[in-house]
Chains A and B, each alone.
Chain A
Amino acid sequence: MLPYVVHRLAQGAVILLLVSFVGFAITLAAPGNAMQTFIDPGISVEDLRAAEARLGLDQPVPVQYLRWLGQVATGNLGWSSRTGAPVADLIGARVRPTLTLMGTAFVLTLALALWLGTITAARPYTWLDYGVTGAAFAGISVPSFFSGMVLIYVFALQLGWFPTSGLESYAADYEGWARWLDRARHLVLPVSVLVLTGAAELVRHVRGAVVEALQEDYVRTARGKGAPPGRVLRHHALRNGLLPVVTLVGLALPRLLAGSVVVEVIFAWPGMGRLLVESVFARDVPVAMAINLVAASLVLLGSLLADVAYAVVDPRVRYG
């Protein structure tokens, strides 16, 4: 197992290098740079160019890339060209909100998928089955920015059940449990959008796996021996049906990360996706590059964990 993990990590490092290279190569085509967003009657072109020179924006792109790479190799992600803030700090502050959002959405999606997948598998081709599947399909067919807006309109403005945006009630100064409750309330709507747009596929997978497991001999045997249907479903079919779902965990990460971009913008959530959008518009290359690296690392780590988990869950799998 250990050599496998080491091998995967080395592979990951190569992929990250590739990602960084691609990212920088793209900036070759970039019209404009960070300083041009500051153009203003009060600022002379000379002053503007002096600042460009300090940031190295007047250097050829390969030079900028090598300098950046050298910096990153020493563990320094550099400074934002818009604000001068250390990139590591900027991103560090954003990772947790993004992980909170994604983690909650993922756990809920999984739980929902297991539940719906199992009950639909138990009664395939019934109205329940069609209803759940139809709803799941409908969920993925609406652009997430629009479902987000509709949720805000209905549940925050019309009904007033949940806050519209943000991580917590900033003016309230809640302490202890009240603060956690307040944060949880702020999570509801953004998480709902992610679950709505992500559940369909998992539901279909779980359902398929369970349906298949229900036909296996050991399930028939268990049934034949008179085990109650609920027990058969949970203990025999679901457990085995779960195995392939584990691999999906790794695949779900990039998708959740991508989905979080729009959701973070719409709910003013202080996550990485929104920071990426903002830095892209500000031509803040160091920040955008670093976010891509961090996101790619998260995804690689996620898929590694998923594979390891798979090996642990399924004794038949052995990694050299």
Chain B
Amino acid sequence: MVVRLVLASLLFGFLPVALAQDTCASVGGTATIAQWSEPGNLNPLIFPTTYDTNVQELVFARLIRPTADLTFEPDLAESWTVSDDARTLTFTLREGLTFHDGAPVTAQDVAFTFTSMADPAYDGGRFAEISILVGAEAYREGTADAVEGIVVVDDRTISFTTTEPFAPFLPVIGGIFILPEHVYGAVPIGNWQEDASNRNPVGSGAFVFDEYRPGEFVSVSAFEGYWEGRPCLDRLIVRFGDQNTLLAALLAGEIDAAPVPIDGATSVANAAGLDLLVIDTLNFQYIGTNLRGPLLGDAAVREAIAHAVNRQAIVTGLLQGYGGLIDTVFPTNHWSYPPDVAPIAYDPAAAAEILEAAGWTLQGGVRVKDGQELSLRLFVPTGNLVRERTAPLIQANLRQIGIAVEIQTMDFPTLVTYLLPREADGTPRAVTAEDFDLFLLGFGIERDPNEYLSYLVETDMPPNGYNFIGVAEAEIAALMREGRVTLDQDARTEIYREVGRQMRDLLAWVPLYQAQDLYGANERLVGFGPDVRGINVDVARWSLR
């Protein structure tokens, strides 16, 4: 395929070429995939959720894109260079790129996209990602006419300069879809969300946006001018709906591929003509602890909790084996995971001894120390069935060692009101020991472990950031900050692994499990192969048998 691609490029010069005949099992047809929730915004610069990104990926392209092994490969940019001081990245765009409406993709469009994120009127939530660019703050505050660190060298060349060496800058760039200035620039940035363009996206990705029928589907069709060549499919439909409904549609052959809830795995595996695909992800689940109180502030209590929960039973029983154990705060399949981390053993007897040694003595069924009962609330957000089901198991396991747990189930926005509390008048305030005890939540690396920073440094405790649990370890904070500016990958790997080891000992997050994602795919859909990057991997090469 690579050889053919090069050959075709030689023959046809810089023009994008329809390679469909060569690389597709077949050309044409309409495939239908599905997701469990409707996309909210189709403008990629407005609060993107996974469900939004899944659709945006079809329509938009980036300068660079992630590979399966979590490095980056050229997308719209054919190459890039890094300056000696490691602060400037320069990208060269491919020749002859066009947006779906035929307009050329230029460095000016790239500059427009990144500058928009720093616009004073922009409130799509992604300014923080590019705030490291020289002059971004000044532009945002209105004291500069342009972002100094974004320079259009020529039509095909653009450079970005950061205020200091910034290790995760490539991942940041790899997460930003390029918008056509002549479309989105025509709308005041403060109006982006309300504007029709938010439901009618124009990009330069593999598929042209056709139609969005709320509550039903988004439909896209092959982009003849896609730089990798015309996609094999004529049309791709993304449906949305209830998990079980979509599973039924998959089993009935109405949908070609869809995520599968764990309860549906055997149905898909046993269905003729359907494949069950089991995919590793970078997401895991943990028990969060409020480190502020006398109960969870006691390291012995956290350690006892970690050893008392039968995490293997969660994996084999609730996940039906589709997942694995995890012993610290980084996903096991990511380079930041320390391979030598001490495993957390399931050992209720040891857990009880730890509590006993720390002065927590059994009175009735519950342990007590200094007149204080070891009784904790566990906040369980809805929306993840397996996670919800772990709550009673955790409760039962902890009861065995004399910790009383009261489960409170709530939806995510409600949980947020405890994690990011506010005064009665609505002003955000600091977390106290009373706000919450334990909570269940998931975390995942989207692009880089630097994403943990706000969760683990003392200065980012609410109301200033996401460090709800109250991690106040100076060393962890120092390591996290060092990881941000360390460019040497080996050194960087070691820094995050050390964070992983320290978080394992701290057990402020008690790691539970790392689930795999399940997809069902009809055998007639060829080339469908989701991986850590999501469902749309190689979507331009999907075809129908």
Direct contact of A and B (CB under 8 A): yes
Chain A residues in the interface with B (C-beta under 8 A):
31-33, 35-51, 54, 58, 60, 79, 82-86, 90, 93-94, 97, 149, 152-153, 156-157, 160, 163-167, 169-171, 173, 265-271, 274-275, 278, 281-283
A164-B249 contact, Cβ under 8 Å, with A39-B416, A41-B452, A274-B215: yes
Query: Residue on A with the closest CB to B194?
Result: A84
A54 to chain B, nearest CB (A): 5
CB of A43 within 8 A of CB of B128, answer yes
Q: Which of B223-256 contact A (CB under 8 A)?
A: 235, 237, 239-242, 244-246, 248-249, 251-252, 254
- The answer to whether B432 has its CB under 8 Å from any CB of chain A is no
A69 to chain B, nearest CB (A): 20
CB of A268 within 8 A of CB of B245, answer yes
CB of A47 within 8 A of CB of B126, answer yes
Give Cα A99 to B32, complex, Å.
27
Residues of B within 8 A of A149 (CB): 244
Residue of B123, B248, B411, B452 near A164 (CB, 8 A) is B248
Residue interface mask B429-467, A partner, CB < 8 A = 1: 000000000000001001000011011000000111110
- The answer to whether B545 has its CB under 8 Å from any CB of chain A is no
Give Cα A84 to B190, complex, Å.
11
Residues of A within 8 A of B465 (CB): 44-45
Query: Residue on A with the closest CB to B383?
Result: A281
Give Cα A157 to B192, complex, Å.
43
- The answer to whether B188 has its CB under 8 Å from any CB of chain A is no
| Stretch touching chain A among B39-47, B80-88, B329-337, B479-487 | B39-47
Residues of B within 8 A of A33 (CB): 413
* Known pairs A42-B128, A164-B248 / 11 extra A-B pairs, C-beta < 8 Å: A31-B413, A36-B413, A38-B125, A39-B420, A58-B426, A93-B215, A94-B215, A165-B254, A268-B245, A270-B215, A281-B411
A84-B466 contact, Cβ under 8 Å, with A32-B413, A156-B248: no
- The answer to whether B505 has its CB under 8 Å from any CB of chain A is no
Give Cα A233 to B426, complex, Å.
67
Give Cα A48 to B219, complex, Å.
30
CB of B245 within 8 A of CB of A165, answer yes
Residue of B30, B47, B128, B420 near A171 (CB, 8 A) is B30
CB of A45 within 8 A of CB of B466, answer yes
Residues of B within 8 A of A39 (CB): 416, 420, 466
CB of B49 within 8 A of CB of A156, answer no
Query: Residue on B with the closest CB to A86?
Result: B194
Residues of A within 8 A of B193 (CB): 79, 83-84
Most buried by B among A85, A156, A160, A271: A85
Chain B residues in the interface with A (C-beta under 8 A):
30-32, 37-38, 40-41, 46-47, 49, 123-129, 175, 190, 192-195, 198-199, 213-217, 219, 235, 237, 239-242, 244-246, 248-249, 251-252, 254, 410-414, 416-417, 420, 426, 428, 443, 446, 451-452, 454-455, 462-466
A22 to chain B, nearest CB (A): 21
CB of A36 within 8 A of CB of B248, answer no
Most buried by A among B194, B219, B463: B194
A283-B413 contact, Cβ under 8 Å, with A58-B426, A165-B248, A265-B242: yes
Residues of A within 8 A of B251 (CB): 157
Give Cα A38 to B199, complex, Å.
18
Give Cα A54 to B121, complex, Å.
10
Residue of A31, A45, A93 near B464 (CB, 8 A) is A45
A169 to chain B, nearest CB (A): 7
CB of A82 within 8 A of CB of B128, answer no
Give Cα A63 to B113, complex, Å.
35
Residue of A31, A38, A152 near B47 (CB, 8 A) is A38
Residues of B within 8 A of A270 (CB): 213-216
Query: Residue on A with the closest CB to B267?
Result: A157
CB of A85 within 8 A of CB of B216, answer no
CB of B216 within 8 A of CB of A170, answer yes
A185 to chain B, nearest CB (A): 12
Residue of B31, B254, B410 near A169 (CB, 8 A) is B254
CB of B426 within 8 A of CB of A36, answer no
CB of A47 within 8 A of CB of B123, answer yes
Give Cα A31 to B420, complex, Å.
11
Give Cα A93 to B241, complex, Å.
16
CB of A44 within 8 A of CB of B248, answer no
Query: Residue on B with the closest CB to A84?
Result: B193
Residues of B within 8 A of A169 (CB): 254
Can you offer 20 A-B residue contacts whose CB atoms are under 8 A?
A31-B410, A31-B414, A32-B417, A39-B420, A39-B466, A42-B126, A45-B454, A45-B462, A51-B47, A83-B198, A83-B199, A84-B192, A93-B214, A153-B248, A157-B248, A166-B216, A170-B32, A170-B237, A171-B31, A266-B242
Give Cα A84 to B40, complex, Å.
8
CB of B38 within 8 A of CB of A44, answer no
CB of A41 within 8 A of CB of B451, answer yes
Most buried by A among B47, B237, B446: B47
A43-B254 contact, Cβ under 8 Å, with A37-B412, A84-B198, A270-B214: no
B499 to chain A, nearest CB (A): 15
Give Cα A86 to B412, complex, Å.
25
Residue of A32, A164, A167, A282 near B254 (CB, 8 A) is A164
Give Cα A271 to B214, complex, Å.
9
Query: Residue on B with the closest CB to A80?
Result: B40
Residues of A within 8 A of B417 (CB): 31-32, 36
Give Cα A269 to B192, complex, Å.
29
B517 to chain A, nearest CB (A): 18
Residues of A within 8 A of B213 (CB): 93, 270
Give Cα A35 to B412, complex, Å.
11
Give Cα A156 to B244, complex, Å.
13
CB of A37 within 8 A of CB of B413, answer yes
Give Cα A94 to B80, complex, Å.
47
CB of A163 within 8 A of CB of B254, answer yes
Residues of B within 8 A of A266 (CB): 242, 245
Query: Residue on B with the closest CB to A47?
Result: B125
Residue of B194, B198, B428, B454 near A49 (CB, 8 A) is B428
A50-B466 contact, Cβ under 8 Å, with A152-B248, A268-B239: no
CB of A41 within 8 A of CB of B446, answer yes
A166-B413 contact, Cβ under 8 Å, with A41-B452, A83-B198, A270-B215: no
CB of A164 within 8 A of CB of B125, answer no
Query: Residue on A with the closest CB to B241?
Result: A268
A157-B252 contact, Cβ under 8 Å, with A31-B417, A41-B455: yes
CB of A170 within 8 A of CB of B126, answer no
A82 to chain B, nearest CB (A): 5
Give Cα A49 to B464, complex, Å.
11
B455 to chain A, nearest CB (A): 7
Residues of B within 8 A of A50 (CB): 123
Most buried by B among A36, A90, A265: A36
CB of B128 within 8 A of CB of A170, answer no
Residue of A42, A157, A267 near B451 (CB, 8 A) is A42
Give Cα A153 to B247, complex, Å.
11
A191 to chain B, nearest CB (A): 16
Residues of A within 8 A of B241 (CB): 165-166, 268
